[in-house]
Amino acid sequence: MFEEIEKLVADGQYEKALTVAKRRSIDLLKENNRASAATALARAAELLCVLNNPAKARGFAQESLELATRANDRLAAAYAHAAAALSHLRLGDIEKAESELDAALDPSTPVKDSAPAAFIRLIGAEISLAKEDVAEAIAFARDALGIGTALQDPIVKIRALLIKAVAEERNENLAGALELLREAEAQLQKSPNGDLAWQVKGAIANVLFKSKQDESAAQCRKEASTLIEGIAAQLSTESRDRFLKNPAVATALGAEASGSGIFRAPVQVRSQTARSRKDETSFMGLRPVLEVIKKINSELNLRRLITTILDTMIEFCNAERGTIVVFDDDKFKIELSRNRDKTDLKREDMGISRGVLKLVRDKGRKIVAENAQQDPELRLIDSVQEQQLLSILCLPLRVKLRLVGAIYLDNPRVTGAFGPREIEIAEILTDHAAVAIDNALLHIKSIHEALTNLYNHAHFEKRLENEVARCRRHNRPCSVLMLDIDNFKHVNDTFGHDTGNEVLRAVSRIIASTVRNVDLVARIQERDAAPVIARYGGDEFEIVLPETTVEGAQKVSERILQSVRDARFQHDGHEVSVTISIGSATFPDDAPDPRAVMLRADEALYAAKRQGKNRHIAYAPMPK
């Protein structure tokens, strides 16, 4: 029905394809074929996103959804929801994009092994990448690839290979990413497609650049540019300008793309002395930094936060390497060390001078060196001479006026790498970084309970909701364990509450170490699905085991039980006997939603108590 549209898209004629899609939707509506008209509008919305007009795409997606709803066509509605998710993603509203994605993935919608099903999962992968959830992005892309293979649809397969490759690149698996892209390239030779050719070529170039294969990368970049220029030439002036500002196009061309690119611009090689131009410190010159500051101030995951801070400072401050260091009395704890290629560095590759860090710690001020080997303050430091350090910029990191560490940047290639502009940007980012890190630490404190340092129940409930939603999307199981220390009141009454608290801390450590290190034979190893462990309150604990079957929950429970039995608890030389009881339930086998699966696990826990304690019971419905 839409062969003409797809042929135009394959030829890279996006604007003409959009016109045909809009006209086709009107014709179908005149024929009272609302479901097909809805599909045509959703396809138009998708094309508008390619042409970098997501606001208009959102309107088309909404119209598509209204038509599909009136036609009572779930498949068309799912496609409309996916198009809406894509438009919200392009507009930067990830929360709304996720909501639309979940609607598209409604289990009652018959989308299995269909082109819309693949499209929905590819959008899911893009949303996951935007959230920096690479594991889920790979799972979505794998699902889409399976659908494309089942349908023998080369276009679906190429799209799935492409986005899976981007996800693998984000996961620092460059060899795997390149292998996937070469497979996509081979598919394109059999089934030429102008829409996908420039994307694949650009992605290959990006991975090759990051792999230091500059000559091959430059050739791929040139080929991608030629393909993009050919498509742009067919567009009207307004559409061409929009298209060339599409982040995917910018990334394929090697331009900056707000964190979505694989490749980053090479280090700016400055002259022997630092220069300062009036326009370099203008608002427009700092605009990309301001965009990053927004991201920094909204990020609460500490690891992602410090990675964003460090990568941004390296990129905008003309550095080759960077390290975030925390001061611990006379010791320096390295939290993160990265280079310009966003690769974590080993200690021998960091280029850090402990003498410089000591100066920052003792004097509480920044250190700037155009050539450290000749700097009067630094040249006598052994590590400076041994490592032949040149440009150094080291700034104190303060949280509420308290000196807690430093951000260390260097450029071993040139002298005078850090001029007034770079220092100003570094200071701005460091000030915001300190506030953001403090907020992140407060957030960490708010979601953990003080005694055991496990998650608190409120955070556990949120994580359980997220994990069940994720498992629902991918048709995976998810198990919950509820645990209770047997006869804990007797421990408190006999040995005192201090001993009771020590038992709680010890049991929490045993549970955490057992669950996190266990070989989960029955877990479906599709992604890195880490357990979530929390203290429910009193002497009860709770665990989420993502992508874990009933059998997997049984194995984990038995290992926890055995680990607690094997532990030795002491009070004043006397042994304190401790055992636990465990109940488990599994989504979706035992319950359809997060609240119900917790209740079922709790019921199973009380069954374990009634049957003698010191055991695990899986949920089973009461006989009628």
At 261 the pLDDT is: 34
Tell me the pLDDT band of 236, cut-offs 50, 70 and 90: very high
At 158 the pLDDT is: 95
Task: Report d(CA 291, CA 176) in Å as an integer.
Answer: 31
At 268 the pLDDT is: 30
Q: Using an 8 Å Cβ cutoff, are 441 and 340 in contact?
A: no
Tell me the pLDDT band of 622, cut-offs 50, 70 and 90: confident
Tell me the pLDDT band of 570, cut-offs 50, 70 and 90: confident
At 445 the pLDDT is: 85
**Which residue, 212, 185, 213, is CA-closest to 201?**
185
Least confident of 92-96, 142-146, 569-573, 601-605: 569-573
- 588 preceded by cis ω (within 30°)? yes
At 108 the pLDDT is: 64
Least confident of 23-27, 291-295, 556-560: 291-295
Tell me the pLDDT band of 365, cut-offs 50, 70 and 90: very high
Tell me the pLDDT band of 276, cut-offs 50, 70 and 90: very low
Classified as helix, coil or strand, 588 is coil
Token pair listed for 528: 């890195």
Can you point out the beta strands (E) in 138-214? none
Query: How long a stretch of residues is the chain?
Result: 624
Token pair listed for 20: 């045909």
Tell me the pLDDT band of 357, cut-offs 50, 70 and 90: very high
Tell me the pLDDT band of 284, cut-offs 50, 70 and 90: very low
Classify domain 7-108 by CATH number.
1.25.40.10
Q: Using an 8 Å Cβ cutoff, are 65 and 84 in contact?
A: yes
Q: What is the mean pLDDT of the chain?
A: 86
pLDDT greater than 90 at residue 107: no
Q: Report, as an integer, the average pLDDT of 474-487.
A: 93
The tens digit of pLDDT for each residue in 413-432 reads 889 999 998 998 899 888 88
pLDDT greater than 60 at residue 259: no
The tens digit of pLDDT for each residue in 375-399 reads 999 988 988 888 889 999 999 998 8
Q: Report, as an integer, the average pLDDT of 490-512.
A: 91
- Percent pLDDT > 90 in the chain is 55
Q: DSSP secondary-structure letter at 523?
A: B
Query: Which CATH fold topology does 278-445 show?
Result: Beta-Lactamase (3.30.450)
pLDDT greater than 90 at residue 479: yes
At 289 the pLDDT is: 63
Least confident of 224-238, 244-258, 502-516, 538-552: 244-258
Residue 454 burial by Cβ neighbours in a 10 Å radius (0-12, 13-18, 19+): buried
Pairing assessment for the beta strands 616-618 and 580-587 based on DSSP bridges: parallel
At 623 the pLDDT is: 66
Report the amino acid identity of residue 72.
Answer: N
**167-175 contacts: CB < 8 A, separation 24 or more?**
167/125, 167/128, 167/129, 167/134, 167/137, 167/138, 167/141, 168/138, 169/203, 169/206, 169/207, 169/210, 169/262, 170/129, 170/132, 170/134, 170/137, 171/134, 171/138, 172/343, 174/207, 174/210, 174/211
Q: Report, as an integer, the average pLDDT of 128-138.
A: 86
Least confident of 70-74, 78-82, 261-265, 294-298: 261-265
At 111 the pLDDT is: 61
The tens digit of pLDDT for each residue in 32-55 reads 999 999 999 999 999 999 999 999
Q: Which residue has the higher pLDDT, 205 or 531?
A: 205
Q: Report, as an integer, the average pLDDT of 400-418.
A: 89
The tens digit of pLDDT for each residue in 299-349 reads 667 777 788 889 889 988 999 999 999 887 778 888 889 998 888 888 888
At 13 the pLDDT is: 93
At 263 the pLDDT is: 26
The tens digit of pLDDT for each residue in 164-214 reads 999 998 888 899 999 999 999 999 999 999 999 999 999 999 899 888 898
pLDDT greater than 60 at residue 270: no
Residue 17 burial by Cβ neighbours in a 10 Å radius (0-12, 13-18, 19+): buried
For residue 399, the number of C-alpha atoms closer than 13 Å in the C-beta half-sphere is: 14
pLDDT greater than 90 at residue 590: yes
Match 């266990």 to its residue by tokens: 518
The two counts, helices (H) then strands (E), for the chain are 24, 12
Q: Using an 8 Å Cβ cutoff, are 605 and 482 in contact?
A: yes
Q: Report, as an integer, the average pLDDT of 560-573.
A: 88
Task: Report d(CA 240, CA 415) in Å as an integer.
Answer: 41
At 460 the pLDDT is: 92
pLDDT greater than 70 at residue 273: no
Report the amino acid identity of residue 407.
Answer: I
At 211 the pLDDT is: 87
Task: Report d(CA 347, CA 233) in Å as an integer.
Answer: 50
Residue 154 burial by Cβ neighbours in a 10 Å radius (0-12, 13-18, 19+): middle
Report the amino acid identity of residue 616.
Answer: H
Q: Look up the CATH architecture of domain 457-618.
A: 2-Layer Sandwich (3.30)
Longest dimension (CA), the chain: 87
Which residues, 6+ apart, have CB-to-CB distance to 342 below 8 Å?
264, 311
Task: Report d(CA 145, CA 141) in Å as an integer.
Answer: 6
DSSP one-letter string for 258-277: TT--S--PPPP---SS----
Q: Using an 8 Å Cβ cutoff, are 619 and 585 in contact?
A: yes
Backbone φ and ψ for 15, nearest 5 degrees, come out as -65, -45
At 400 the pLDDT is: 76
What does each C-alpha distance from 299 to 9, 426, 557 come to in angstroms?
Answer: 37, 19, 35
DSSP one-letter string for 335-390: EEEEETTS-BPPGGGS---HHHHHHHHHH-S-EEESSTTT-TTTTT-HHHHHTT--
Q: Which helix (H) or strand (E) holds 450?
A: none
Strand order through the sheet with 321-328: 331-339, 321-328, 402-411, 391-399, 367-369
pLDDT greater than 60 at residue 288: no
Q: Using an 8 Å Cβ cutoff, are 164 and 145 in contact?
A: yes
- Percent pLDDT > 70 in the chain is 89
Burial 329-351 (b: 16+ CB within 10 A, else e): eeebeeebbbbbbbeebeeeebb
Q: Report, as an integer, the average pLDDT of 2-20.
A: 92
Backbone φ and ψ for 5, nearest 5 degrees, come out as -65, -45
